[in-house]
Amino acid sequence: MNLPNMLQIESLLSACRAETLTPTDIVREVVARINAYAVKDPAVWISRVPTERLLARAVELEGQPAADLPLYGIPFAVKDNIDVAGLPTTAACPAFAYEPSESAEVVQRLEAAGAIVIGKTNLDQFATGLVGMRSPYGQPHSVFSPEYVSGGSSSGSAVAVAAGLVSFALGTDTAGSGRVPAAFNNIVGLKPSRGILSTYGLVPACESLDCISVFAGSTSDAWKVERIAGAPDERAPYSRALCSRPLPLTTFRFGILRKEDRFFDGNEGNAVLYARAIRLLEQLGGTPVELDFAPLKNTAALLYSGPFVVERLAAIKEFHRTHRKDMDPTVGTIIDDAEKYTATDVFEGIYRQHGFQQVAQRMWADFDVMLLPTAPRIVTKQEVIDRPIAANSLLGAYTNFVNLLDMAACAVPAGFAPDGLPFGVTFVAPAFTDEDLAALAGRFHEALGEAVGAARTDRPMGEKAEEIPSSERVLLAVVGAHLKGFPLHWQLEQEHAVLRATTRTAPDYRLFALPNATPPKPGLVRERGFVGEGLEVEVYELDAAGFGRFVASVLQPMSIGRITLADGKEVCGFLCSEAVARSGTDITETGGWRYYMTER
């Protein structure tokens, strides 16, 4: 079977609806991949649904119309502090394990949409940690190196997606556990606004702050999962309806760290990548605004260095009292600290939290969204062994404040440092901006032009800031309806675009005439290993603001990403969803859209 490395939802759905793929095919391939990957990393899963049950579920789905189920046959993983009927819930503590009588509300909703639960993934015990090292079931590692952590607490969920074992995975996020593992494995981590995904069936860490989060290969996949899984639930005390709040997407202001606040713990490569991310977001229509990070940093200290740790004790108070010896030593030590705080301390902490919320609310008058590093740098497993608390604190430097201040966040890949290790950035915005936040982060991710997960593009950034492209002018390659003399060329003219070259793409691109497109247009896709003659493109130059406005007008299945030209130079350009493109007619041999339209 020839499934893509990353099991993107839309690609699988399109194949299933075209009857070129079945849920049974998907299950068999997923099981084979999991078994093969276990040789490389045996610590991803805590428990799995038996293969015969998975196949029975696939056959059940095959008796239903694929078009009726928005997640038909899509395989997913569940962090093992979220209930799945038929599998134990351990929270990575064998002495705590129990057999749930029903699945968590979010799992039920995803299964009702046609998704297939594959199994339960590893985590930092009781979701206490950002390192992925605090589990008796083993320590998953980053898909890029066995020496480096996968990030926690949702360690196994992130690896399962990045390794192409499932299409998406549920994690949880209290202090950054849905974002840090995404950065360390080159995938997307969407942390919804608190309460949008029901926490019924979740073993709480800090119940007033917990979020069930989504790992995926794209922001569109992650948002699709959140939209399907989200609904008010009276059984979850902090449940809320998603009253969508819009964000400006064409021209917008984004908060960035001041130079003196940019902390990467000595990793200069990541500093360069953050600077590049700022410039790329400028090219997409954003205006950077420096923010005061001090109140955010002070808020973050409440979570582990203040009385909010008491809530972690409240979640497992009886178990902690009777089974303290069965707990991970570091997790136990963290929760032990809760006993030194009084009720007065807790209320004073809550008052400070609300004070910081007022400060944060005023910050949104200066910008619409924040662009922050997801973490200063990835750490080795040995660093965590040597300094478990300090390493964990390092990884939470830019994440711990988000839930305390009632914000939504979406972590996306942002490239690779010269050492070949991944770096990520996080888009942060006020609560209820989830949909637009995912859309904006997705535009950034697509424009970056990197592959996702372990299938990354092998072109790490150089060490010097001079290698970052200028944000003043942007080169854009067009291949179809925007060519000079074609129906959509006016969109370039209104942005005063200047034609700089007529050239060709690198040889490994194919061009397809899209079915039922108005006006007629093609879809360009890259096919690694294919050797053709390249496709004709026109390269235009726009200013950054004009480019941002132009990109905002681009509709699916099109996106703007990075295209390699015949001379090896990379520019921005039109790409198309591969599944949609290949549903059309392959016109690669014509040499380009202009030639194809002339021959018609």
Catalytic residue positions, numbered = 79, 153, 177
Stated as kind and residue range, the H or E segment containing 496 is: none
* Angle made by CA atoms 553, 556, 562, in degrees to the nearest 5: 80
Closest CA to 125 of 333, 274, 300, 293: 333
Rounded to whole angstroms, what are the CA distances from 104 to 6, 35, 69, 344, 483? Answer: 26, 27, 20, 34, 51
Q: Is the torsion defined by CA of 183, 186, 191, 197 positive or negative?
A: negative
> Which positions ≥6 away from 292 have C-beta within 8 Å?
258, 363
Q: List the end-to-end C-alpha distance of the chain, in Å, as a whole number.
A: 36
According to DSSP, the residues that pair with 173 across neighbouring strands are 211
Is the four-CA dihedral 28, 213, 279, 546 of positive or negative sign?
Answer: positive
Buried b / exposed e along 443-478 (16+ C-beta atoms within 10 A):
bbbbbbbbbbbbbbeeebbeeeeeebeebeebbbbb
Q: Collapsing DSSP states into helix, strand and coil, what is residue 399?
A: coil
Strand, coil or helix: what is 101? coil
Pairing of strands 509-513, 585-586: antiparallel
Give me 73's structure tokens.
């046959």
Place of tokens 């040889």: 507
Give the burial class of 158: count Cβ atoms within 10 A of its Cβ; 0-12 exposed, 13-18 middle, 19 or more buried.
buried
CB 425 within 8 A of CB 372: yes
d(CA 8, CA 188): 12
CB 416 within 8 A of CB 461: yes
Question: Tokens for 405?
Answer: 């201040």
